[in-house]
Chain A
Amino acid sequence: MAESFDVTARKFHQAVCVALLAVAFVIGAHSGLWLVALVGAVLLLGRFWWPADLFRQFNWRVLEPAGILKRREAQEDHETRRIARVLGGVVLLVSAVLLGVSLLWAWVLVALMGIMIFLDAAFDF
């Protein structure tokens, strides 16, 4: 049976991920790599332990109760997204390490992850 999920929480999580990755690029590798690592960690750890999904938790504990965002339920396939977030989390963590050793081409990986998250958030791609 198809499961019901909070679409609002997912899209907020994705929007924050994209925003943080964009900010990370703008501020540069020296400081930005920590934002990349944060997003990677949230993606990876949050897949297995919900409390680690900081962005969704913020949405559920602050934004939705305050009425700033409205919960919207939909039946979705989360199996594909769960796999994607594990892969994305790993790629971002690896990218953060590469940026830490000044391999700036890792920004290409970060951009690819950001674009994929953006497309899923905006168009359910």
Chain B
Amino acid sequence: MVERIIIVLGLVAATLAISFLVRWRTRARLAAAEGRVLPVAVRSRFPADAPGVLYFYGPHCGSCRQQAAILDQLVQRELTAVIKMDAVEHADLADAFGIVTVPATLIVAPGGAAQRVNLGLRSLPVLTAQLREAAALRAA
């Protein structure tokens, strides 16, 4: 029984270690992506004087449908520009901004730099707060 307990503890430790390593690496990539300017072909689709959202989705992603519905609400409430891109078709762009999962949303600051990269579903209040933060930074 003792050896089995050791095996379980070893598995837990290994899982935690690998998970922290993966999360640390993902965070490092996201931090590096924040501040990076979008290619001109993409940033020209956003207004020059207001923040927007660049949204990456996947063709068979269940939570992407939820995210798309939230973004539709965001467009209506905040009159925000939202550009939607298939992460598979635009894999290079997604990779350049540390996108490893979908749905993913980039808060694009006025001027076309990625201010915040979100991996996973984000709620309407969270996205609204991030957009307002981006708009306030510009005003400052």
Which residues on A are within 8 Å of B, measured CB to CB? Answer: 1-3, 22, 25-28, 74-77, 79-80, 111, 114-115, 118-119, 122-125
Contacts and interface: CB of A to CB of B under 8 A. Distances in A.
Interface in B39-97: 62-63, 66-67, 69-70
Nearest to A74: B123
Contacts of B70: 1-2
Interface in B4-19: 4-5, 7-8, 11-12, 15-16, 19
A25 B120 contact: no
A112 B63 CA distance: 24
B31 interface: no
Q: List the 7 shortest-distance A-B pairs measured between CB atoms, nearest first.
A: A77-B63, A79-B62, A2-B66, A75-B123, A26-B4, A22-B8, A80-B62
Contacts, number: 49
Contacts of A123: 19, 23
Given A26-B8, A80-B63, 17 more contacts: A2-B67, A2-B69, A2-B70, A2-B123, A3-B66, A25-B7, A25-B8, A26-B1, A75-B121, A77-B63, A77-B121, A79-B63, A80-B62, A118-B12, A122-B16, A122-B19, A123-B23
B7 A1 contact: no
A1 B63 contact: no
A80 B67 CA distance: 14
Interface in B87-130: 120-121, 123-124
Contacts of A80: 62-63
B62 to A, nearest CB: 4
Contacts of A25: 4, 7-8
Contacts of A27: 1
Contacts of B5: 26
